[in-house]
Amino acid sequence: MDESWRLSAVEVAALVRSKQLSAREVTAAALQRLEQVNPFINAVVEYKPEYSLAQADAVDAAIARGEDVGPLAGVPVTTKVNVDQSGFATTNGLRLQKDLIAKSNSPVIDNMIKAGAVVIGRTNTPAYSYRWFTNNLVHGLTKNPRNNAITPGGSSGGASAAVASGIGHIGQGNDIAGSVRYPAYACGIHGLRVSLGRVPAYNASSPERSIGGQLMAINGPLARTIGDLRLALAAMAQPDPRDPWYVPVPLEGPPVQPRAALCIAPDGLEVVPEVRAALVNAAKRLERAGWVVEEIETTPPLREAAQLQVNLWMGDGYAAQLAAMEKEGDPGALAALRGQAKVGQAFNAATMSETLMRRATLVREWSLFFQRFPVLLLPVSGELPFEDQLDVRDEESYARVWRAQMPQIGIPFMALPGLTVSTGMVGNIPVGVQVVANRYREDLCLAAGEAIEAGGVPPAPIDPVGYR
């Protein structure tokens, strides 16, 4: 039995390019793995084997002609149901969009295919991608393959559960408030939130996003190794004229001294002992790799940035969002929106103007901070991954979730890149850390991430709970 699904994307691409494996063989093995384990986790909600095998055959034919098929040669990947993929529904977890069939690919999907990747399935997301939990009325509940009692994360929960269990080597996700970083954290893998404009985005099937979505939402990869994230980033970040925010910045910036700040409790965040221990351990790993690490009490404003981010994300167009979700009837999406009713009711043109003005100041303060510390090490969340569906239990549980997620919510307001590095397990619950750098310095996040990864990570891919 071909178990190429166990390999890294870097290894698969090398084997396919050298003709030691064919893209069809790799794709067939990935589809077999999908069919074996997906019933236990519901990570992939739509796939067409004939579509994927045809892509694989095109890669093999190009290699046979002596062509360079790209850095992701034959690598099986998954895509999220909130991005356009031609011939598939862009549901975004909504019954209202179950028949919204895309006529063209989003740039991020085009870029992966141009780089030689083979798309093997579409992954689940919460309704309208609002939550850090993955459940909806059209596709159902996605389970965490490591522990069914905890969330797989959200909104890229299907992508993270798939990658962790060996369904594809790279998962395409997107992140406006942690939707790549938190699923990686919850499933014990790695996830990269890129800078605004690094990876082009556009859904022709849908209206233009509000200004908050345009400024803060990005596409990025989830993977089992930092090396695979680096490979995926190079593929995803190719230019596309459809995205007016795209910025052609080199993937590698000027050399800097390997210096990092460790902030365990930014802006007074409540941090559980297990998360604190993971951060201290990650700092020691950096020091062993030659980094100078200095612990600091706080960062430039992060809690304020998180609140301003919510103003733009949830407040802008709040009434229309709420009306749409009331029509959809999704309990989780409604809880997410109703929990921000005060934000929605207070938002107006003056609020937007003040928020955008303040954003310029905070971007400047954070940029100056990174002149002193090229990398910042801080929590992904103040808590370990939550019990699944915790946010819909009651008002206090909802508030608890949002308090703990502050480090994820704040970072996008300044358009900064952030990397989740999984570092270990606390019993049967994953734990990890977040690495942040200045805009367009994903290379520094990945360099620090590699040093942390070298100290040990949870085993992956894994068989989901209940399999075998």
Count of Cβ atoms closer than 10 Å to residue 315 Cβ? 23
Average confidence (pLDDT) over 324-344: 96
Domain assignment present for residue 466? The answer is no
Q: What single letter denotes the amino acid at residue 301?
A: P
DSSP for 367-382, written as a single string: HHHHHH-SEEEE-S-S
Provide the sign of the torsion angle of the four alpha carbons 120, 175, 425, 12, taken in this order: positive
In the predicted model, what is the mean pLDDT of residues 276-286? Answer: 98
- In the chain, what percentage of residues exceed pLDDT 70? 100
What whole-number percentage of the chain has pLDDT above 90? 99
Structural domain range at position 265: 4-453
Mean pLDDT of the chain: 97
pLDDT given for residue 249 in this prediction: 97
Nearest 10 degrees: Cα torsion 314, 318, 323, 326: 30
Q: Rounded to an integer, what distance in angstroms lies between the CA atom of residue 380 and that of residue 36?
A: 31
Contact 313, 325 (CB under 8 A): no
Kind of pairing, strands 118-123 and 76-80?
A: parallel
Strands 418-426 and 190-193: antiparallel
Stretch 236-245: mean pLDDT: 98
- pLDDT tens sequence across 83-128: 999 999 999 999 999 999 999 999 999 999 999 999 999 999 999 9
Whether residue 458 is contained in a domain is answered as no
Q: What confidence score (pLDDT) does residue 439 get?
A: 98
Q: What does the alpha-carbon distance between residue 304 and residue 315 come to, in Å, rounded to a whole number?
A: 15
Per-residue pLDDT reduced to its tens digit, 414-441: 999 999 999 999 999 999 999 999 999 9
pLDDT value at 290 more than 80: yes
Residues 6+ apart with CB under 8 A from 456: 423, 424
pLDDT at 468: 78
CATH code of 219's domain: 3.90.1300.10
Residue 448: name the closest of 381, 375, 378, 390 by CA.
375
Q: What is the total count of domains within the chain?
A: 1
What does the pLDDT look like over 161-193, one tens digit per residue?
999 999 999 999 999 999 999 999 999 999 999
Predicted local confidence at residue 270, as pLDDT: 98
Is 155 among the residues known to form the active site?
yes
Catalytic member of 4, 52, 156, 179: 179
Instruction: For residue 461, tell me if it sits in a domain.
Output: no
Q: Does residue 125 lie within any of the structural domains?
A: yes
Greater model confidence, 468 or 146: 146
Q: What are phi and psi of 441, to 5 degrees?
A: -115, 45
DSSP string, 318-370: HHHHHHHHHHHT-HHHHHHHHTTHHHHHH--HHHHHHHHHHHHHHHHHHHHHH
Q: State yes or no: pLDDT of 1 exceeds 70.
A: no
Among residues 4, 155, 165, 422, the one annotated as catalytic is 155
User: Is the pTM above the cut of 0.85?
Assistant: yes
Nearest Cα to Cα of residue 81 among 125, 23, 43? 125
* Interatomic CA distance for residues 10 and 287, integer angstroms: 27
Contact 400, 207 (CB under 8 A): no
Assess if residue 459 is contained within a domain.
no
Residue 426's DSSP bridge partners are 429
Q: What integer pLDDT is reported at residue 285 of this predicted model?
A: 98
Q: Rounded to whole angstroms, how far apart are CA atoms 310 and 316?
A: 9
114 is catalytic: no
* pLDDT of the residue at 354: 96
Burial of 244 (0-12, 13-18, 19+ CB in 10 A): exposed
Chain segment 358-389, per-residue pLDDT in tens = 999 999 999 999 999 999 999 999 999 999 99
Given the residues 80, 129, 143, 195, the one annotated as active site = 80
Q: Is 80 a catalytic residue?
A: yes
Does the residue 43 lie in any domain? yes
| In contact, 114 and 70? CB cutoff 8 Å | yes
